[in-house]
């Protein structure tokens, strides 16, 4: 086991024990699984964002590329706002918002501080750093921008819901049709709404900042509802993360012709 | 059914010490504190252990069991296997006095630094009135029994002694949140929380919530809401501008 730092539990006056932790459970398992899951997602999403192909299969568009806002986009789902260079993937213009939202999310902060930065790796397990300033300095002080990513994320949720509704068409653009892809896009949009609305910043802005709930009954009800969702924020964070990758993968299967979308009607 | 448990207890004082092995009889339904009392009664009469209520309400018997901050009186022996070695040490974030007793005066010093409850003037009939829905949020934090397990487990001070000067710890940041949310309190505590008590040092890894024997959601219901209130104050451009030009108080 690692010897403890003299500034931490080895500080003068404290009970002397030259071990990093006395925990006997598998405290390392959770950070390990977190690293594996997040690295897998980062690798997959980076590859897909730079692939710049196979993200559209009429009428479905991958969430990594929605809203697709350049003239380089495959298909036609969203107003093309500008013409970017062909070698820049349309995903790169938009992924900063969901990336920033998740990176500054209170749950993910806990997850990656523990698992990647080991600060601390688990409760009562000594961290390996000699000094610590938390979120008081650059760059971590920018974690305070979370609510702005939350606002932007809501706009993206509207776009993804719009794209999910657009998937009630068939390959010829005719309405009132539905396939497995429609269900997947709708589920993806719903999970992203649940993740966004269960956010701690959302809980604060809808009512948490108030001192007197009794003077704002509507906001109190909204705060109560968001608080209920907030208890499952971690769950929604993981489920929506996995499902957004799965949705992209499904669209890729369709776009490459590896799979045919089952049509219900 | 009784059995002989393998107990490893830290013994010593600020000058030094170490883990010592003991074998102690355990009866069905007992907690770790019972076993330490039996150890005290049968083998080590000078073993120092702080305790009081044996009911998880006084917060006195805080220690670390197998490396995890817990109350000795709420940790059932039944949660361990009979052949397991159970290691008991004092809280490792505070100076040890003797054996399992630590000097937790750091916490009382921090408590004294929190600006006191400052209610608005009483109403004409001499009473303070507040709505239940306004006060039930800070009421959760009143469940705190001041066992200081959250203070012990928080890596900001546990792993960095030098941060004790500038960081009040989860228990007292929760106290600030409690007062800031209180419908009668008039003080604005956001700047105090951030600038004087180190709220920005909290990286919300939730160990305080994990160890709380009262099940208080310290991180989700106190620390994060307080951080968001600080964002309102310091990182919202319109608020900042309003305060700068004197058009806004809060």
By C-alpha distance, the chain B residue nearest A17 is B18
Q: Measure A99 CA to nearest chain B CA, in Å.
A: 19
B148 interfaces chain A, CB cutoff of 8 Å: no
CA distance A45 to B199: 34
B227 interfaces chain A, CB cutoff of 8 Å: yes
Q: What contacts 24+ positions apart, CB below 8 Å, involve B75-83? A: B75/B31, B75/B32, B75/B33, B76/B29, B76/B30, B76/B31, B76/B32, B77/B5, B77/B26, B77/B30, B77/B31, B77/B32, B77/B34, B77/B35, B78/B28, B78/B29, B80/B5, B82/B3, B82/B5, B82/B26, B83/B6
**In this predicted model, what pLDDT tens digit does every residue of B61-91 receive, in sequence order?**
999 999 999 999 999 999 999 999 999 999 9
Residue B237: pLDDT above 90?
Answer: no
Domain boundaries, chain B: 3-102, 105-244
CA-based diameter of chain A, in Å?
76
- E strand or H helix at B68: strand B68-71
Distance of CA A221 to the CA centre of its chain: 26
Q: Measure A43 CA to nearest chain B CA, in Å.
A: 25
The per-residue pLDDT of chain B, averaged, comes to 96
Q: Which CATH superfamily is domain B3-102 in?
A: Beta-grasp domain (3.10.20.30)
CATH placement of domain B105-244: 1.10.1060.10
Considering Cα of A50, then A54, then A59, then A63, what sign does the dihedral take?
A: negative
- Residues of chain A whose pLDDT is less than 70? 1-6, 76-77
Q: Measure A161 CA to nearest chain B CA, in Å.
A: 28
- Nearest neighbour of B224 by CB, restricted to A132, A145, A200: A200
By C-alpha distance, the chain A residue nearest B155 is A120
A-B contacts (CB, under 8 Å): 161
> Does the beta-carbon distance from A9 to B133 stay under 8 Å?
no
What token pair was written down for B182? 């209180």
Whole-number percent of chain B with pLDDT over 90: 93
Contact A144, A37 (CB under 8 A): no
Answer whether the bond into residue A67 is a cis peptide, omega within 30°: yes
Mean pLDDT score, B173-190: 96
**In this predicted model, what pLDDT tens digit does every residue of B94-105 receive, in sequence order?**
999 999 999 999
Overall residue count recorded for chain B in this entry: 250
Task: Give the gyration radius of chain B's Cα atoms.
Answer: 22
> Does the beta-carbon distance from A200 to B220 stay under 8 Å?
yes
B166 interfaces chain A, CB cutoff of 8 Å: no
Q: So what's the pLDDT on residue B250?
A: 58
> Does the beta-carbon distance from B12 to A16 stay under 8 Å?
yes
**In this predicted model, what pLDDT tens digit does every residue of B19-53 receive, in sequence order?**
999 999 999 999 999 999 999 999 999 999 999 99
CA distance A112 to A103: 9
- Nearest neighbour of B225 by CB, restricted to A13, A109, A208: A208
Question: B206: alpha, beta or left, given left = phi > 0 and alpha = psi -120 to 50?
Answer: left
> Does the beta-carbon distance from A141 to B200 stay under 8 Å?
yes
Q: How many CA atoms lie within 13 A of B228 on its CB side?
A: 27
Q: Measure B69 CA to nearest chain A CA, in Å.
A: 8
CA distance A187 to A182: 8
CA distance B77 to A109: 35
Q: Measure B1 CA to nearest chain A CA, in Å.
A: 25
Q: Measure A176 CA to nearest chain B CA, in Å.
A: 43
> Does the beta-carbon distance from B67 to A214 stay under 8 Å?
no
Q: So what's the pLDDT on residue A1?
A: 44
CA distance B117 to B81: 47
Q: How far is CA A179 from CA A41, A85, A171, A173, in A?
A: 26, 34, 11, 13
> Which carries the bigger pLDDT value, residue A77 or residue B197?
B197
Mutate to test the interface with A, among B6, B134, B152, B205 (most CBs of A within 10 A): B205
CA distance A167 to A177: 8
B128 contacts on A by Cβ (under 8 Å)? none
Q: So what's the pLDDT on residue B152?
A: 98
Contact B203, A119 (CB under 8 A): yes
């Amino acid at each position: 086991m690692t010897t403890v730092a003299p500034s931490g539990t080895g500080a003068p006056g404290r009970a002397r024990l030259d071990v990093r932790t006395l925990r006997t459970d598998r405290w390392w398992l959770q950070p390990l699984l977190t690293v594996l899951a997040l690295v897998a997602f980062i690798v997959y999403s980076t590859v897909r964002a730079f692939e710049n192909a196979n993200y559209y299969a009429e009428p479905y568009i991958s969430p990594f590329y929605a809203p697709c806002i350049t003239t380089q986009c495959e298909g036609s789902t969203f107003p093309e706002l500008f013409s970017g260079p062909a070698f820049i993937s349309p995903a790169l213009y938009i992924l900063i918002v969901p990336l920033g939202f998740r990176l500054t999310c209170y749950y993910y902060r806990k997850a990656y501080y523990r698992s990647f930065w080991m600060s601390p790796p688990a409760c009562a397990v000594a961290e390996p750093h000699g000094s610590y300033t938390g979120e008081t300095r650059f760059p971590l002080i920018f974690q305070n921008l979370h609510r702005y990513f939350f606002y932007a994320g809501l706009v993206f949720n509207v776009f993804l819901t719009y794209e999910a509704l657009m998937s009630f068409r068939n390959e010829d653009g005719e309405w009132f049709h539905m396939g497995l892809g429609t269900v997947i896009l709708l589920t993806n949009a719903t999970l992203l709404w649940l993740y966004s609305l269960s956010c701690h910043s959302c809980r604060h802005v809808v009512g948490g900042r108030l001192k007197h709930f009794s003077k704002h009954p509507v906001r109190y009800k909204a705060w109560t509802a968001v608080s209920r969702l907030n208890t499952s924020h971690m769950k929604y964070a993981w489920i929506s993360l996995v499902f957004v990758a799965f949705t992209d993968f499904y669209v890729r299967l369709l776009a490459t012709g590896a799979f045919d979308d089952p049509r219900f009607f | 059914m009784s059995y002989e448990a393998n107990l490893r207890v830290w013994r010593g004082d600020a000058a030094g010490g170490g883990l010592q092995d003991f074998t102690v009889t355990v009866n069905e339904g007992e907690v770790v504190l019972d076993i330490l009392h039996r150890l005290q009664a049968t083998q080590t009469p000078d073993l120092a252990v702080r305790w009081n209520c044996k009911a998880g309400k006084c917060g006195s018997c805080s220690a670390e069991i197998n490396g995890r901050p817990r109350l000795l009186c709420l940790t059932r022996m039944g949660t361990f296997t009979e052949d397991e070695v159970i290691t008991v040490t004092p809280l490792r974030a505070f100076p040890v006095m003797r054996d399992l007793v630590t000097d937790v005066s750091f916490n009382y010093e921090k408590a004294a630094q929190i600006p006191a409850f400052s209610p608005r003037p009483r109403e004409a009939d001499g009473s303070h009135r507040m709505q239940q829905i306004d006060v039930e949020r800070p009421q959760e934090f009143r469940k705190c029994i001041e066992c200081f397990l959250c203070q012990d487990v928080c890596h900001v001070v546990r792993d960095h002694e030098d941060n004790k000067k500038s960081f009040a710890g989860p228990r007292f940041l929760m106290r600030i949140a409690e007062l800031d949310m209180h419908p009668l309190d008039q003080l604005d505590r956001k700047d105090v929380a951030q600038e004087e008590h180190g709220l920005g040092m909290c990286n919300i890894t939730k160990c305080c919530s994990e160890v709380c024997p009262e099940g208080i959601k310290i991180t989700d219901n106190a620390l994060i809401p307080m951080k968001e209130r600080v964002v309102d104050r310091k990182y919202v451009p319109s608020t900042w501008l309003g305060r700068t030009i004197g058009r806004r108080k809060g």
